[in-house]
Structure 1
Amino acid sequence: MNSVVITGCGLITPLGNSIGEFERRMFAGDSGIRDIRGTLVADNFPVPFAGIIDDTGLPSAEALGLPSGRNSRGLRYAVLATRQAVHDFPEGLPLDGIIYGTPGGVFFELVVDTYRDIDTDRIQWNRSRAEYLLEVMAKDLAERGHGEIAPERLISINSACASGIHCIGMAFQFLKAGLWQRCIVGGIDAGAWESSLMNFHLLNALTTADVPAGEASRPFSPDRSGFVKSEAAATLLMETRKSAEQRGARILAEVCGFGLTSDAYRLTDGREDNLSVIRAMEQAIETAGIQKEDIDYISAHGTSTQLNDRLETMAIKKVFGDHAYKIPVSSLKSQTGHPTVASGAMETVACILMFQRQRLAPTINFRAGDPECDLDYVPHKSRPAEVKYILNNAFGFGGQNACIVLRKAD
């Protein structure tokens, strides 16, 4: 079996549109969340906050050779994040596939924009397919000298908020088994639109707290009241260690364990016994071939909802026992909000930066006092730490649970 490594990464996020800017702001404890009333939504819109990408300095859709319009934003961000990830990847070296987390369904705004013409012959139905995004990415990679990717190797995944880690885990399995040598993985969510925000609001999942925008996402705090919907694109270049070493690539991290389970319970709420979440974490650690005590840090799903943060903390205690109190845990979503299908990939990039700097990202806005959330959540400020193994968690609506174990590069 092959060992599997990450050799490239790129992202477009509310905390920055480059690895350097994202790194600086993440460790500084900045927030990328802002008030959207009166700008992106009406003054009386029930959802006041979102994590919005500032794309004023990014190339336009036209400059990238992409179709213009609101529905092209996700394409832009995914292409730009992917170009960052393959910046040092040699031309002429083929990629075996793309596995990418994509939003599900068709946004109401896309339907409205399309039907304004009324002329059904002009409706570009093709662009509403999730696979269309991957086809555009594959075309861009081919034009940049990375070869054609067969359509059957363009894999679009939507397992809700578990999608990013699910994609990394699937690639891990393909590469480990020797089916592929190198591939692109990641996720995109550029849907902080009125309809998407309203959908989550009607599920009582989003915070509407009367607080400053930068303090709205407060995972594990007793007064947490829901997550903040956000946007992000994150792309990783994954390959076998043999492939990476043969071309002299810089190895950023190793993916060494993967767990994937399903609650088979409800469309939104997690199981109260959390058995499937516990099993996903255990699977990831077992397949990594390490002991639970080897985990130095946990990148939490940490959405800032009452239910998720309580159940995730409970699951960590079940998996690690008393040792859970010795493991730092933090939630990047306190800074970025929750970009759903892109979150796991974005947080994996954050983990790589923590390996490189031997420093932990904080949980900003944390307030102690919830007796059921009593672990070390790295409150307020980043701090130095010796980090060799990281457990990265992602749990999605529908009871979809995905976890990976990452190892620091030698």
Structure 2
Amino acid sequence: MEKRRVVVTGLGAVTPVGNDADTSWKNILAGLSGIEKVTRVNADEYPAKVAGELKDFNIEGFIDKKDARKMDRFTQYAVAASMMAVKDAELKITDENAPRVGVWIGSGIGGMETFEQQHETFLKRGYRRVSPFFVPMLIPDMATGQVSIMLGARGFNSCTVTACATGTNSIGDAFKVIQRGDADVMVTGGAEAPITKMSFAGFCANTALSTNHDPKSASRPFDKNRDGFVMGEGAGIIVLEELDHAIERGAKIYAEIVGYGATGDAYHITAPAPEGEGGARAMKMALDDAGLSPEDIGYINAHGTSTEYNDKFETMAIKNVFGEHAYRLAVSSTKSMTGHLLGAAGGIEAIFTVMALKEGILPPTINLETPDPECDLDYVPNEARKSDIQAAISNSLGFGGHNATIALKKYEA
């Protein structure tokens, strides 16, 4: 059976660098960091002091206060980004097409804030005072559930939980749903609201977070002096659509998604496999699925977390897959500006990759000041760069050994 072509027709985001996709992209190109001193937790109680928090986000600009109170913050982010993406796509969901419009949005840890708040209530006041909405607010699939309800999308409906690979796995799996004919449209990506007492404590305890107190330099992927990632929050959602369906309704087309790879390390619960072996297989799988050669790729939006092993092993994986071409293509980590949005990272980074293809501009890796001999590729240091790339990939690598890569290219009729 011939594979159906799938294109990107809508973008929506709430990120530490902007409360919509357009603002986020413009600030990324300008090299503006959204990382500041953390406010959602008491910085004095933790060795990590900074985070990528949303600024002036108001869910009541999208839904009423009564509905918002029944949602954890991560679901609110997903709803807002999804509504923006569908509006950007100029997609009208009706009783007629609703069964062919699906939703696939993932979250790495779901409603952690709700869990913490309700647990405190339980300890102080007993089970009778726990909210009846506790479980529906907590579970990670509720972003997908609430978005489908708000949009009236009654098609394929699912949720991925693969730690930091979640957003990219969600988009890749949604792509496959359309490609095989089970839907015509999928609203997909990731959402996360992880800046809470316990999750911040957990990542501090396993020494994953940067203890650099300077917000503007704490996230420094591929730099020799990197010392951990910076936690971020938000959501990145895209609208994927079968090509003929998009053309028939006159939709604008940002780019085409052409390949997906997903692998497991089977190695360690938090550390990547040596030399990024699993990530390399995911990249190769995505290229093979897309029918692209390594030389076709002009840009990689790297996972690039600013941790010692990720950046080194991801660099090794790129070299293993791309050979000498690894030194000719461009690689950058937008986490240098947004921080690491965990399950939402792949969602916003897919948007940045799509825009790099559409506009022919590569986002930079900021704070790249001291070269690391083991990270010796072209990381687009500190300033955006014009480049008429034809194809790109975006990587996401998660705890548990999850690796995901999507391949995109400029749309050609």
TM-score relative to the length of structure 2: 0.92
Superposed CA deviations along residues 92-116 of structure 1, whole A, max 9, x for unmatched, are 2424321111233652523335425
Counterpart for residue 176 of structure 2: 173
Q: 1:194 to 1:292 in 2, by over 3 A?
A: same
**C-alpha deviation, 1:239, in angstroms:** 1.3
**C-alpha deviation, 1:204, in angstroms:** 0.9
Q: 1:300 to 1:185 in 2, by over 3 A?
A: same
Counterpart for residue 74 of structure 2: 74
Counterpart for residue 54 of structure 1: 55
Matched to 1:34, the amino acid is: E
Counterpart for residue 109 of structure 1: 116
Q: Using the alignment, how far apart are the partners of 1:109 and 1:121 within structure 2?
A: 14
Q: 1:46 to 1:278 in 2, by over 3 A?
A: same
Q: 1:351 to 1:105 in 2, by over 3 A?
A: closer
**C-alpha deviation, 1:369, in angstroms:** 2.5
Q: Using the alignment, how far apart are the partners of 2:366 and 2:23 within structure 1?
A: 18
| Aligned positions of 1:327-346 closer than 5 A | 327-346=329-348
**C-alpha deviation, 1:356, in angstroms:** 2.4
Q: Using the alignment, how far apart are the partners of 1:64 and 1:296 within structure 2?
A: 45
| Aligned positions of 1:7-46 closer than 5 A | 7-36=9-38, 40-46=41-47
Q: Using the alignment, how far apart are the partners of 2:391 and 2:63 within structure 1?
A: 42
Q: Using the alignment, how far apart are the partners of 1:303 and 1:117 within structure 2?
A: 41
Q: Using the alignment, how far apart are the partners of 2:41 and 2:55 within structure 1?
A: 13
Q: 1:195 to 1:344 in 2, by over 3 A?
A: same
Counterpart for residue 201 of structure 1: 204
Counterpart for residue 131 of structure 2: 123
| Aligned positions of 1:250-399 closer than 5 A | 250-399=252-401
Q: Using the alignment, how far apart are the partners of 1:131 and 1:36 within structure 2?
A: 27
After the TM superposition, which of the residue ranges 60-69 and 190-199 deviates more from structure 2? 60-69
**C-alpha deviation, 1:213, in angstroms:** 0.3
Q: 1:105 to 1:186 in 2, by over 3 A?
A: closer
3-state SS of paired residue (1:214): coil
Q: Using the alignment, how far apart are the partners of 1:202 and 1:62 within structure 2?
A: 37
3-state SS of paired residue (1:43): helix
Counterpart for residue 245 of structure 2: 243
After the TM superposition, which of the residue ranges 314-323 and 124-133 deviates more from structure 2? 124-133
> Does the aligned pair in 2 maintain the 1:183–1:238 contact within 8 Å?
yes
Q: 1:65 to 1:246 in 2, by over 3 A?
A: farther
Q: Using the alignment, how far apart are the partners of 2:130 and 2:366 within structure 1?
A: 48
Q: Using the alignment, how far apart are the partners of 1:344 and 1:388 within structure 2?
A: 20
**C-alpha deviation, 1:136, in angstroms:** 1.5
Alignment partner of 1:140 is 2:150: yes
User: Structure 1: any 5+ residue segments left out of the alignment?
Assistant: 143-147
Q: Using the alignment, how far apart are the partners of 2:64 and 2:172 within structure 1?
A: 33
> Does the aligned pair in 2 maintain the 1:221–1:366 contact within 8 Å?
yes
Which consecutive aligned stretches of 4+ in structure 1 deviate over 4 angstroms post-superposition?
Answer: none
TM-score relative to the length of structure 1: 0.93
Q: Using the alignment, how far apart are the partners of 1:117 and 1:61 within structure 2?
A: 33
Percentage of pairs with the same residue: 36
Counterpart for residue 408 of structure 1: 410
Matched to 2:171, the amino acid is: I
After the TM superposition, which of the residue ranges 305-314 and 189-198 deviates more from structure 2? 189-198
> Does the aligned pair in 1 maintain the 2:106–2:143 contact within 8 Å?
no
3-state SS of paired residue (1:206): coil
**C-alpha deviation, 1:273, in angstroms:** 3.7
Matched to 2:207, the amino acid is: N
3-state SS of paired residue (2:195): coil
Q: 1:381 to 1:271 in 2, by over 3 A?
A: same
> Does the aligned pair in 2 maintain the 1:61–1:72 contact within 8 Å?
no
| Aligned positions of 1:208-219 closer than 5 A | 208-210=211-213, 212-219=214-221
Counterpart for residue 163 of structure 2: 160
> Does the aligned pair in 2 maintain the 1:66–1:72 contact within 8 Å?
no
Counterpart for residue 145 of structure 1: none
Superposed CA deviations along residues 183-226 of structure 1, whole A, max 9, x for unmatched, are 1111100121121111111111100024x201110000000000
